[in-house]
């Protein structure tokens, strides 16, 4: 009868083959790489090609109206404080005079989204389809 020593059992534990484990990891990685774009593409949309800085060379500064929103929900247009109804009326009047009107929305980062969405809704109700939301420039270290 053959006897196994404790020393031989330790040697066999050190010789675990990890090649099948690595093969499995690479196969799973390839599967996830292939299937991820398929899962994200559930909505048919055309994304813009250039995600960089927008081209503002063709925009006339006279077409832009700046709407600022404070964290307390105060609306400011061209340095004047207005209520939401007054703001909507002013934007509608300006849009009738200048159909190329662009509304530039600047909101404090602590502002509730309800105030921003109210301005966007006011623009859409008055057929103002050109508006933008401004953010602070990214600071690189």
The CATH number linked to 110 is 3.30.420.270
State how many domains the chain has: 2
Predicted confidence at residue 80, as pLDDT, reads 84
Within this chain, do residues 74 and 115 fall inside the same structural domain, yes or no? yes
| 8 pLDDT tier (thresholds 50, 70, 90) | low
Residue 1 lies in a domain: no
Domain assignment present for residue 95? The answer is yes
Give 140's DSSP letter.
P
Amino acid 34: pLDDT: 81
Structural domain containing residue 30: 12-40
What is the rounded end-to-end Cα distance, in angstroms, of the chain?
A: 72
Asked whether residue 93 is domain-assigned, the answer is yes
pLDDT at 131: 83
Residue 60 to residue 101: CA distance in whole angstroms: 10
Rounded to two decimals, what is the model's pTM? Answer: 0.56
> Would 89 be classed as within a structural domain?
yes
Percentage of the chain with pLDDT > 90? 26
Summarised one tens digit per residue, pLDDT across range 71-112 is: 888 898 877 889 999 999 999 999 999 999 999 888 877 778
Torsion of CA 81, 86, 87, 88, to 10 degrees: 170
pLDDT digits over 52-71, tens only?
Answer: 565 555 777 788 888 888 88
pLDDT at 50 over 50: no
């Amino acid at each position: 009868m053959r006897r196994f020593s404790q020393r031989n059992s330790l040697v066999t534990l050190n010789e675990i083959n990890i090649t099948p484990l690595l093969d499995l990891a690479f196969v799973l990685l390839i599967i996830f790489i292939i299937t991820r774009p398929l899962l994200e593409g559930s909505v048919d949309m055309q994304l813009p090609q250039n995600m960089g800085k927008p081209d503002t060379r063709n925009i006339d500064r006279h077409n832009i109206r700046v709407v600022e929103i404070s964290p307390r929900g105060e609306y400011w247009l061209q340095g004047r404080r207005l209520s939401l109804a007054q703001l909507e009326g002013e934007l509608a009047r300006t849009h009738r005079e200048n159909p190329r009107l662009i509304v530039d929305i600047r909101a404090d980062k602590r502002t509730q989204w309800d105030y921003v969405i109210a301005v966007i809704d006011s623009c859409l109700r008055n057929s103002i389809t050109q508006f933008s939301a401004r953010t602070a420039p990214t600071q690189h270290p």
